[in-house]
Structure 1
């Protein structure tokens, strides 16, 4: 998914503020669902981030066009482990490993099969 860095995404030096990389990744995960005509949220069913490990490699700045790639690493009945990278051209600026759990009525639940299809390939 392509992302343009806007002024609101940056700190006073014009560099993307660290937490916005997480927002970009979240947006990219949601967009995967929208592209398949699905929603990542159904009234009482949704994914939540359980844990993540982030690696900031190089800064993005105001005006940059970035690309977020999402890859499924591990699939369990009620959780997924994903790898997400943010690149500018071919250079990796940020990467993270994120575990998301699927909840139904606020309890871990089996992920519906159509939800797995969303993460096959970005």
Structure 2
């Protein structure tokens, strides 16, 4: 998913505020569902962040066009692990591994097979 860096995304120096990379990644994950005509929240449940590890390499700046790449790294019964990268052209800016747990009625639950068709899009789209 491509994202333009706006003034609201930056600090006083025009550099993307560190926490906004997490927002960019969240938007990209949600967009996969929206582009399929669905919502990330369904009657079957929803994903919550269980943990993440992030690395920052180069700053994005006001006006930059960046792309968020998302890949499914691991699939378990009630969770998935993704690798997400924010790049500008061929330059890696940010990278994180994130574990998402599937929850239904406030408790961990098996990820429905119907959601895996959407999740599989994370390996073919950005």
Structure 1: gaps of 5 or more residues: none
Structure 2: gaps of 5 or more residues: none
Partner of 1:98: 98
Cα distance, 1:45 vs structure 2: 1.7
Matched, 1:115 2:126: no
The DSSP-based 3-state class of the residue aligned with 1:77 is coil
- Give the number of equivalent residue pairs: 122
Structure 1 residue ranges (4+ consecutive) displaced by more than 3 angstroms after TM superposition: none
TM-score of the aligned structures, taking structure 2 as reference length: 0.93
The DSSP-based 3-state class of the residue aligned with 1:52 is strand
TM-score of the aligned structures, taking structure 1 as reference length: 0.96
Query: CA offsets, 1:27-77, max 9 Å, x none?
Result: 000001111222111257210000000000000000000100100000011
Taking the aligned partners of 2:97 and 2:40, their CA distance within structure 1 comes to 19
